[in-house]
Amino acid sequence: MTNPLVRADVLVGALGRSRTEAGVSAQAEALGLAVAANLPVLLWGEPGIGKSATLGQLAAGLGLPMETVIASIHEPSDFAGLPIVGDDPAAQGVPMAPPDWAVRTAAYGSGLLFFDELSSAPPAVQAALLRVVLERRVGSLRLPEPVRIVAAANPPGSAADGWHLSPPLANRFVHLRWTHDPRVVARGLSGTWPAVTVPAVREARIPAAVARARGIVSGFLAARPGLAHALPADPASRGGAWPSPRTWEMALRLLAFGYACDASRDATGLALAGAVGDGPGIELLTFAEELDLPDPDRVLARPETFTLPGRGDRQLAFLTAVVAAVQATPTRERWEAGWVVLAKAVDAGVPDVAARAAMDLAALREPDWTVPAQLDAFVEVLSLSGAL
């Protein structure tokens, strides 16, 4: 007699088969952007809305292994490592042995390391996770750089024995609010789910994307210095995205990836808000759009025809972008063109705006490069800084 569960398992298998199709979702695109940028990303959402399934589908679509660790059921030693006494501890020390999931992840060389139920992990476990998320170290083992770190959490009110994330741990993630679309759920249960993909970087755009992003973030923080570090007052906000030098570096990377990948405005905005918080993220995106910076590479190709922007924040942002572009490809011709651009600030009567850029540009000079005439306007500031 055939076991009736055999046919039951056939039916279960048939129900589990589905296909994927290209989908348009700002939150999915923002997730792909953060994963491409190799930034730790944390999905916040109510239980049962598909956070884990989304990450599994992303890993499968990329052909990468995914190692899942339920943070809430682990001890601090599972992340900090267990001490293992060797032959001569006085000479060799006592190494911290990593757990099996870390060893497997390191052996893969790449993939997704997924920490689930993060908001249900007690403070001691969150503290042990700090080094894993930021430094990629589990005990004495260092995880390979291509490994992407992702996590999921339920809001404290709906999490099992939920906790607010500690500010140090929260400040290491790009936070994305994960919601469900009833239409997507209905279509998915009919057999077709949207595919979550990682955006493709256009190699030719990398230098300009980096230069543009550096100019925008630097110019924004010069105009809004109070946002360089702003720890929220209430515990709930401290457990989310907030601005710090670390998260502004994340925002810089996300913005550069957005430009290099042609990411949509909505996806870039969600990613930036997930790094530095809703208010600063929206401000930065608006600032970038209002600046409308010209391509620094095109300006360096014909610096004499360029007209310096009239607004101070645009001037600073653009000059920073020009220097970043020269740093990306530091040829003598581009270096000399950079000084022609900086001289426009002197002609406009705002040499102080170009002072920082002048010091950075001077530091790129090779010994056999002749000092251009435009540098004379910055001799005093460069001498004080030690650049000359």
The pLDDT tens digits of the residues spanning 165-207 come to 899 999 999 999 998 888 888 888 888 888 888 889 999 899 8
- Is the pLDDT reported for residue 1 higher than 80? no
Span between the terminal Cα atoms of the chain, in Å = 91
pLDDT digits (tens, 9 = 90+) for 67-92: 999 998 888 988 988 888 766 676 66
Would you call 64 exposed, middle or buried from its count of C-beta atoms within 10 A (0-12, 13-18, 19+)? middle
Q: For residue 110, is it within any domain?
A: yes
Which of the listed residues 172, 194, 213 is the one where a domain comes to its end?
A: 172
Q: Average of pLDDT values for 139-153?
A: 94
Q: 22 with 195: CB under 8 angstroms?
A: yes
Split at pLDDT 50, 70, 90, the class of 161 is: low
Query: 214 with 101, same domain?
Result: no
- What are the structure tokens assigned to 104, written together? 């497997």
3-state DSSP call for residue 53?
Answer: helix
Query: 268 with 165, same domain?
Result: no
In 208-220, which positions are buried (b, 16+ CB within 10 angstroms) versus exposed (e)?
bbbbbbbbbbbbb
Q: Which is more confidently placed, 340 or 270? A: 270
Which are the contacts of 313, defined by CB distance < 8 A and separation ≥ 6? Answer: 219, 220, 222, 223, 287, 291
Q: Which residue has the tokens 């953060």?
A: 34
Which of the listed residues 124, 150, 172 is the one where a domain comes to its end?
A: 172
Query: 305 with 366, same domain?
Result: yes
The Cα–Cα gap between 270 and 171 comes to: 16
Query: 161 with 208, same domain?
Result: no
Nearest to 354 by CA among 332, 383, 378: 378
Q: Which is more confidently placed, 76 or 164? A: 76
> Which domain CATH number covers 163?
3.40.50.300
Residue 153 phi/psi, 5-degree rounding, is -150, 150
Query: 145 with 96, same domain?
Result: yes
Q: For residue 267, is it within any domain?
A: yes
3-state DSSP call for residue 328?
Answer: helix
3-state DSSP call for residue 137?
Answer: strand
Q: For residue 130, is it within any domain?
A: yes
Split at pLDDT 50, 70, 90, the class of 157 is: low
Helix axes 265-276, 26-36, angle to 10 degrees: 60
How many H helices and E strands in the chain? 19, 11
Full residue range of the structural domain in which residue 343 is found = 203-385
Query: 152 with 112, same domain?
Result: yes
**Which pLDDT score is estimated for 385?**
46
The Cα–Cα gap between 143 and 376 comes to: 49
Q: Give the sign of the dihedral formed by CA 339, CA 323, CA 300, CA 365.
A: positive
Number of domains in the chain: 2
Query: 378 with 238, same domain?
Result: yes
Q: For residue 311, is it within any domain?
A: yes
pLDDT digits (tens, 9 = 90+) for 90-124: 666 777 889 999 999 999 999 999 999 998 888 89
Of all residues in the chain, the percent with pLDDT exceeding 70 is 93
- What are the structure tokens assigned to 72, written together? 């809430």
The Cα–Cα gap between 377 and 339 comes to: 10
Query: 143 with 46, same domain?
Result: yes
Which of the listed residues 129, 157, 172 is the one where a domain comes to its end?
A: 172
pLDDT digits (tens, 9 = 90+) for 242-258: 999 999 999 999 999 99
- Is the pLDDT reported for residue 56 higher than 70? yes
Q: For residue 18, is it within any domain?
A: no
Query: 144 with 222, same domain?
Result: no
Query: 221 with 348, same domain?
Result: yes
Q: Average of pLDDT values for 220-226?
A: 89
- Is the pLDDT reported for residue 352 higher than 60? yes
Q: For residue 278, is it within any domain?
A: yes
Split at pLDDT 50, 70, 90, the class of 381 is: low
**Which pLDDT score is estimated for 159?**
57
Query: 147 with 224, same domain?
Result: no
Which are the contacts of 218, defined by CB distance < 8 A and separation ≥ 6? Answer: 316, 317, 320
Nearest to 207 by CA among 289, 327, 363: 327
- What are the structure tokens assigned to 160, written together? 């099992």
Q: For residue 119, is it within any domain?
A: yes
For residue 38, the tally of other CB atoms under 10 A from its CB is: 14
**Which pLDDT score is estimated for 160?**
56
Q: For residue 266, is it within any domain?
A: yes
Tally of CA atoms within 13 A in the half-sphere of 59 that contains its CB: 20
Query: 168 with 217, same domain?
Result: no
